[in-house]
């Protein structure tokens, strides 16, 4: 028999950087033990330092929880590979950086588990679209 679910909470936190002050208002009302969650999250993401990690936290009625770790958002990966802090403020008129098709392929391979596509080529098209909408040029 499965446990009764109290809530599902979606969060984006810096890898290894969860602390009770930053998540208390989101998880406190669900009855989650904040210190235990922070320890579990930080240990689970210690190998991804510097990345933002989206999670889906399933909280059960008995105050236990499961953490489902997702891949880093495509926009963050694109900014990381292009070595820029933020996207263009005037998209279509301004280019703030560039990435190569090889980098697009690497990002697509990382994102495949979380994308709604089955082929690498389609995942790459999605990443290229995201890059263009951020003012990042894709070089062949």
pTM value is 0.83
**Which structural domains are found in the chain, ordered by start?**
5-69 (3.30.1550.10), 74-139 (1.10.10.250)
Q: Looking at residue 46, what DSSP letter applies? A: G
116, 75, 117: which is closest to 99 by C-alpha? 75
d(CA 25, CA 28) in angstroms, rounded, equals 6
Ordered DSSP codes for 91-116: BTTB--EEEEHHHHHHHHHHHGGGSS
With H, G, I as helix, E, B as strand and everything else as coil, classify residue 66: strand
What tokens appear for 29 in the block? 């009302």
Copy the structure tokens of residue 73.
């958002």
pLDDT by residue for the chain (140 residues), tens digit each? 578 999 999 999 999 999 999 899 999 999 999 999 999 999 999 999 889 999 999 999 999 999 999 999 999 999 999 999 999 998 888 999 999 999 999 999 999 999 999 999 999 999 999 999 999 999 98
């Amino acid at each position: 028999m499965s446990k009764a679910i109290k809530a599902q909470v979606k969060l984006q936190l810096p890898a290894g950087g969860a602390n009770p002050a930053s998540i208390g208002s989101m998880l406190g009302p669900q009855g989650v033990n904040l210190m235990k969650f922070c320890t579990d999250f930080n240990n689970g993401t210690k190998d991804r330092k510097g990345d933002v990690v989206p999670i889906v936290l399933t909280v059960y009625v008995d105050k236990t929880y499961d953490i489902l770790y997702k891949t880093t958002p495509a926009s963050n990966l694109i900014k990381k590979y292009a070595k820029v802090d933020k996207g263009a403020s005037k998209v279509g008129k301004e280019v703030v950086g560039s990435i190569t098709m090889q980098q697009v392929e690497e990002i697509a391979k990382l994102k495949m588990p979380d994308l709604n596509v089955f082929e690498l080529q389609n995942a790459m098209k999605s990443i290229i679209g995201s890059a263009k909408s951020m003012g990042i040029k894709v070089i062949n």
